[in-house]
Amino acid sequence: MKVGILGGGQLGQMLAQAAKRLDIETVVLDPAEDAVAGQVTRHLAADWTDPAALQELAATDVVTYEFENVPAAAVEKLVADVPVHPAPEALVKSGDRIIEKNLFNALGIETAPFAQVDDRDDLDRAIETIGLPAILKTRRFGYDGKGQVVLRSADDVETALEAIGGQPAILEGFVPFDREVSVLAARGRDGELKYWPATENVHVDGILHISRAPAAEVSDALLAEAVRGLEAVMAHLDYVGVLVVEFFQVGERLVANEMACRVHNSGHWTIEGAASSQFENQIRAVAGLPLGETAVSGFAAMVNLIGEVPSLEALEGRDDVFLHVYGKTPREGRKLGHVTVVAESRAALEAKLEEVLAVVGDRAKPS
């Protein structure tokens, strides 16, 4: 069995590592010469539409991806020759915030109020119906808080429009959330579904800082409601693989923000914190294997290493702290690694997390 992966960043790296443990071969396609998945598996350093590279991927048993902005032309070429999971339609739906929110709403999943904004008139009208504060986001290619700007008063309109540079956009009502929560699920080729406990996420400057799982204060009923939503999306897309939906929690409501049709940063804790990781189940799902159990026995937290990798010596050799350094070239705002810590109680987890943050730095606290 051989799995082709579009994208060779850290997600591709961890997918390849999970595949290896299942005795499954991988090959990644990523135009970047230094794509870090290449450190652990065969890497085709070629353009997305390079015929020879696509031919090699087409010769695998199944192709999946870890990067959503793969040109449609490349995916179209592949689907003619090899199964591609999740199906390309999922990329289309998740790649555009308006299409995505319309899908959520059609499936009974609550979102913030939103409106399409293509010009100044649209924005004025949208502000009238949605009110302020609100967030103007580009419809496509936004990630880690990029391509979005908060509007607090009518005075912000001009600068907001300038900031997104005339790209097709969406205005979203500002959700006064208590916390951010993501829910990850995997769906097999036979429609079998497994999900992990909800994860609570803290972002700093739009980039994920800490994930904790299972999220506190997400009742079974609330998680069941979220999973019902994911299940509906997956059934609609005849989805195979891991899907994550990021929600804002407002009291006992979950308001969907966005989804990613791939493994996700907020699920990295599953490597050590759950019986099977998101990476293992992504590989299992696309390869047509039965999904692994997603149960957790304790508590886990993950901290991202952003921009630089500090000395981690003080955390080495522990059986409750796991260091993941991806081998990427340091750059401001870049995800270079993560640290996961596990514990038997929530209180113990918080104490250990403090120890980890003392070593790696707490981006939530100004230094």
Judged by the rule CB under 6 A, the positions of this chain that interact with ligand AMP are 112, 135, 142, 145, 148, 172, 174-175, 180, 203, 206, 257-258
Shorter beta-carbon distance to ligand AMP: residue 94 or 294: 94
Closest contact distance (angstroms) between CB of 104 and ligand AMP is 13
Closest contact distance (angstroms) between CB of 206 and ligand AMP is 5
Shorter beta-carbon distance to ligand AMP: residue 29 or 169: 169
Closest contact distance (angstroms) between CB of 355 and ligand AMP is 26
Shorter beta-carbon distance to ligand AMP: residue 147 or 188: 147
Count of positions (residues) in the chain: 367
Shorter beta-carbon distance to ligand AMP: residue 131 or 206: 206
DSSP 328: P
Closest contact distance (angstroms) between CB of 142 and ligand AMP is 5
Shorter beta-carbon distance to ligand AMP: residue 42 or 140: 140
Between the CA of residue 217 and those of 176, 178, 251, 268, 271, what are the distances in Å? 17, 10, 9, 21, 23
Judge contact between 284 and 292, C-beta under 8 A: yes
Secondary structure percentages of the chain, helix, strand, coil, to 5: 35, 30, 40
Judge contact between 144 and 306, C-beta under 8 A: no
Closest CA to 136 of 265, 220, 126, 321: 126
Shorter beta-carbon distance to ligand AMP: residue 257 or 340: 257
Shorter beta-carbon distance to ligand AMP: residue 64 or 148: 148
Closest CA to 181 of 150, 223, 148, 134: 223
Closest contact distance (angstroms) between CB of 247 and ligand AMP is 10
Which residue sits closest to ligand AMP, CB atoms considered? 175
Closest CA to 41 of 69, 74, 4, 86: 4
Output the six-digit token pair for 15: 């997918």
Which stretches does DSSP call E strand in 80-177? 114-117, 134-138, 148-151, 169-173
Closest contact distance (angstroms) between CB of 150 and ligand AMP is 8
Long-range own/partner contacts, residues 36-39 (CB < 8 A, 24 or more apart)? 36/8, 36/9, 36/10, 36/12, 36/326, 36/327, 36/328, 37/5, 37/7, 37/8, 37/9, 37/10, 37/12, 37/13, 37/66, 38/8, 39/13, 39/327
Shorter beta-carbon distance to ligand AMP: residue 180 or 272: 180
| Run of H or E including 321 | strand 321-325
Closest contact distance (angstroms) between CB of 172 and ligand AMP is 4
Closest contact distance (angstroms) between CB of 31 and ligand AMP is 24
